[in-house]
Amino acid sequence: MRFTIPCLFGLEALVADELERLDLKNVRAENGRVHCEGTEADIPRLNINLRCGARVLLELASFPAPDFEALFQGVAAVPWEDYIPRDGEFPVKGYSLNSQLHSVPACQAIVKKAAAKRLGNVYGCETLPETGDRYQIQFAIIKDTAAVYLDTSGDGLYKRGYRAHNNGAPLRETLAAALVLLSRYRGKDPFCDPFCGSGTIPIEAALIAKNRAPGLDRRFAAQRWKSLPSGLWLSAAEEAMDREFHGQYDIWGGDIDPDCVELSRRNAELAGVEDCVRFEVADAGKFHREGEYGQVVTNPPYGERLLEKKEAEGLYRAFGKAARQLPEKWRLVILSSHTEFERAFGRPAEKKRKLYNGMIKCDAFFYHGGARGE
């Protein structure tokens, strides 16, 4: 079986590393997605364990599609009846890049028509009821080559199941986990987020420290597939739980807004990590720590309008001064889309990495504590 894991731009290498750690074969990264090969048992393993991938797509076919006839015939040749029952609902979505077939709505209609014709012929009916479970078909047409998939995840993998509420502009869990992994935090040193918002970064840090699979508390589309033995999901969950660590961790989140702090505490309880994460009302401009080692991973507000940008720059200046007082062996990873972040923070980053928070282009800025780099 071939799988494709879409991801936010900039996270491809992290997702590839996750796949290799899960023993998937022939891992290959492209812009915004990573391919691999495995077995049907890997459908639950991938969905339950992936931290940075957006979803798990099962590739059913790949073929040249220079015109609508080729697209129709290629889709009609897929054995849809092996996956979609007679009453299954099968909506279609996808995209096209650098191809002659550039109209996405037209391609959607052709893919739907071809799949419906195949299923109608197999099940002996002109009109399929589509009243049962959903089987989401996806397609990608890139440089006149079409790939057709079934989405095994349903809701995106960033929906871990713990964030019942948010504070209006939350960071996606997949990107929060990526920032923690980029910081190389593994549960040993103190970990801090002085702009914790709804608590996503500290909670993801706790899941990583405990090696807890992020998908254990939610359901996935492929759990309803009659073609996939239900015992595989139980085996994957047991395998994931057997890998958990049980230790003491120093993970802290602070925010100047008491409502955010209370929200973070509730989310940590839903995630089952309230025993290893502390949240406090705190001013990031007064952030300080005495210990020799530690990590700061944070996503400060960046503001969209002019006044908000000025306020954001004031926050960066105050936090930059506080960071210069940290011991030199502390490491900082700060995510921001503000184009003048380094100037406001007070020093250039030692390293930068381009990332995307949804469609917003951002940079992850890497620093050490103290005045290094000034």
The whole-angstrom separation of Cα 288 and Cα 326 is: 6
Residue holding tokens 């047409």? 141
pLDDT score of 319 more than 90: yes
In a domain, 264, yes or no: yes
Contacts of 73 (CB under 8 A, 6+ apart): 114
The whole-angstrom separation of Cα 248 and Cα 49 is: 22
Task: Average the pLDDT over 161-187 and give the result.
Answer: 86
Residue 261: band (very low, low, confident or very high) from pLDDT cuts 50, 70, 90: very high
Residue 165: band (very low, low, confident or very high) from pLDDT cuts 50, 70, 90: low
Task: Average the pLDDT over 358-362 and give the result.
Answer: 86
pLDDT score of 169 more than 70: no
Span 283-299, pLDDT tens digits: 999 999 999 999 999 99
Task: Average the pLDDT over 95-113 and give the result.
Answer: 97
Do 109 and 178 share a structural domain?
no
Do 183 and 85 share a structural domain?
no
Q: How many CB atoms lie within 10 A of CB 110?
A: 24
Do 202 and 96 share a structural domain?
no
pTM of the complete model: 0.94
The whole-angstrom separation of Cα 239 and Cα 213 is: 10
Q: Which of 127-141, 149-163, 257-271, 299-313 has the lowest mean pLDDT?
A: 299-313
Q: Which pLDDT value is given to residue 32? A: 94
The whole-angstrom separation of Cα 60 and Cα 40 is: 13
- Is 143 in contact with 31 (CB distance < 8 Å)? no
Contacts of 253 (CB under 8 A, 6+ apart): 192, 193, 196, 199, 201, 202, 261, 264, 277, 278, 279, 280
Helix (DSSP H) and strand (DSSP E) numbers for the chain: 10, 14
Helix (H) or strand (E) holding 322: helix 306-323
Q: Which of 119-123, 178-182, 335-339 has the lowest mean pLDDT?
A: 335-339
Tokens of 303: 């503001």
Q: Which pLDDT value is given to residue 311? A: 87
Residue 161: band (very low, low, confident or very high) from pLDDT cuts 50, 70, 90: confident
Q: Which pLDDT value is given to residue 358? A: 80
Do 181 and 114 share a structural domain?
no
pLDDT score of 373 more than 70: no
Interaxial angle between packed helices 104-123 and 68-76, expressed in degrees from 0 to 180 and rounded to the nearest 10: 30
- Is 191 in contact with 252 (CB distance < 8 Å)? yes
pLDDT score of 339 more than 60: yes
Pairing of strands 277-281, 191-193: unpaired
Task: Average the pLDDT over 266-288 and give the result.
Answer: 96
Helix, strand, or coil here: 222?
A: helix
Last residue of a domain, one of 102, 119, 151: 151
Tokens of 329: 């062996």
Q: Which pLDDT value is given to residue 170? A: 73
The whole-angstrom separation of Cα 73 and Cα 301 is: 50
Helix, strand, or coil here: 1?
A: coil
Do 189 and 144 share a structural domain?
no
In a domain, 237, yes or no: no
Closest C-alpha among 219, 168, 199 to residue 268: 199
Do 194 and 296 share a structural domain?
yes
Name beta bridge partners: 46: none
Domain containing residue 262: CATH number:
3.40.50.150
Do 144 and 102 share a structural domain?
yes
Last residue of a domain, one of 99, 120, 151: 151
- Is 345 in contact with 320 (CB distance < 8 Å)? yes
In a domain, 224, yes or no: no
Burial class of 168 by CB neighbour count within 10 A (0 to 12, 13 to 18, 19+)? exposed
Span 3-36, pLDDT tens digits: 999 999 999 999 999 999 999 999 999 999 999 9
pLDDT score of 49 more than 90: yes
**Percent above pLDDT 90 for the chain:** 89
Do 140 and 186 share a structural domain?
no
Sheet of 351-357, strand order: 277-281, 251-255, 191-193, 294-298, 330-336, 360-368, 351-357
Contacts of 22 (CB under 8 A, 6+ apart): 42, 45, 46, 49
Tokens of 67: 């015109």
In a domain, 374, yes or no: no
Do 290 and 187 share a structural domain?
yes
Q: Domain limits at 263?
A: 173-214+246-368
Do 261 and 179 share a structural domain?
yes
- Is 316 in contact with 284 (CB distance < 8 Å)? no
Do 95 and 19 share a structural domain?
yes
Do 257 and 110 share a structural domain?
no
Split into its structural domains, the chain has a count of 2
End-to-end CA distance of the chain: 52
In a domain, 168, yes or no: no
